[in-house]
Amino acid sequence: MLDRSLRALSALGIAWIFALMLLVGADIVSRFVFNSPISGVAEIAGFSVIAITFLQLPAAVHSGRLARADLVLQRIRVQSPGAARAIERVFALLGALVFLAIIWAAVSGLGHAWRTNDQFGAQGVFTFPKWPIWLLVLTGSAGAVAAFAVQVVRGPPSAVGSGARHGEL
């Protein structure tokens, strides 16, 4: 169930990237061919970075593809695989705690944006409510907490033989 949910979030992020590429391309064509840019493209691109990051982050955590420097950990793994797995679990626990803190902040931000109808963008040109972005941050952070929690319990993806290091989710 977790795999399917995280894949769905990642797929939504991929679709968002594709749609953003089309929008930026259409804006470029509209700007140079018709001398009429599409309103709000810069604002949409700005909040899209946040949305795409939080949509794709949980799958990256779950599959063991979260970017990190692990030169020291590789050396420890050669000397003591058990110690390396323990360090990986501590890393996962710390990751879960960080994303729990983000959830705490996102709940507050979502509530504020919902109550006040807080807007993102240029007033009178293009605005968008902030609460959907807060909702995506909250959803992505919850997915990351779940993925890290699995790693705390089972160990890193490479240790449980999931094949996730080879691009499988």
- Rounded to whole angstroms, what are the CA distances from 115 to 47, 111, 137? 20, 6, 17
What pLDDT, on the 0 to 100 scale, is given for residue 158?
65
Q: Examine the pLDDT at 62 and tell me if it is beyond 80.
A: yes
- Rounded to whole angstroms, what are the CA distances from 159 to 36, 64, 70, 155? 55, 10, 15, 6
What pLDDT, on the 0 to 100 scale, is given for residue 166?
40
Q: Which residues pair with residue 122 across a beta bridge? A: 126
How far is the C-alpha of 77 from the C-alpha of 91, rounded, in Å?
A: 14
What value does the mean pLDDT take over residues 8-18?
96
Higher pLDDT, 120 or 15: 15
The predicted model scores a pTM of 0.84
Give domain limits for the chain.
2-166
Q: Examine the pLDDT at 160 and tell me if it is beyond 80.
A: no
Q: What is the mean pLDDT of the chain?
A: 89
pLDDT digits (tens, 9 = 90+) for 121-159: 878 888 889 999 999 999 999 999 999 999 999 988 864
Residue 65: pLDDT band by 50, 70, 90 thresholds? Answer: confident
How far is the C-alpha of 77 from the C-alpha of 90, rounded, in Å?
A: 15
What value does the mean pLDDT take over residues 54-58?
96
> 3-state DSSP call for residue 127?
strand
